[in-house]
Copies of this chain bind each other. A is one copy, B any other.
């Protein structure tokens, strides 16, 4: 991955400072548990002066925004990958989406909090990406509904909302350390919630041919 940019022999120009700064921020996120880094610290880690970052970001808030966008993109990517790897069963596909969401929250708790627990700004691109991730969920539930895997008296939109709340709830609780996050515990928790959700989501569905 990224080279350790602590004290590299480099010329006047840093190869890709923007990338280095974002990486440094992510590294700090992982190291500490929160995202109140300092711009000057990022610059120090990247080996540039406290002012160089301003050639790539308008302000500190702008760095945060870039990180949010990046996180959102990573999440969407992970979701797509999960769907691609999932089998054809509608339930399995919905579950794959939820699991990738939770996994994201567990692997990068601070980033997850930054991206999805912070209040929405006027973030246009941000909102768009979030909508994209959400639309993926809605589409998947639409498929599940068409396949008769879930109750028909609720719209795909409603089911998507319900599942989102459910998954987001677990993810948030896990990412903030309010639920035990050992692999075994996580697996158990996810399985449990999945059971409850699908029972609730399936009940009322007219008996259908395909599963």
Cβ < 8 Å to B, chain A residues 144-167: 154, 158-159, 161-162, 164-167
Q: Is the CB of A204 within 8 A of B211?
A: yes
Compute how far the CA of A34 lies from the CA of B196 in the bound complex, rounded to whole angstroms: 34
Is A172 an interface position by the 8 A CB rule?
A: yes
Contact of A165 among B33, B34, B170 (CB under 8 A): B170
18 pairs, A vs B, C-beta closer than 8 Å: A110-B119, A113-B118, A117-B172, A120-B176, A120-B178, A161-B189, A162-B193, A164-B173, A165-B166, A166-B166, A167-B169, A169-B172, A196-B197, A197-B200, A199-B200, A199-B201, A199-B204, A200-B201
Residues in A lying within 8 Å of B, measured CB to CB: 33-34, 109-110, 113, 116-120, 130, 154, 158-159, 161-162, 164-170, 172-173, 175-179, 189, 192-193, 195-201, 203-204, 211
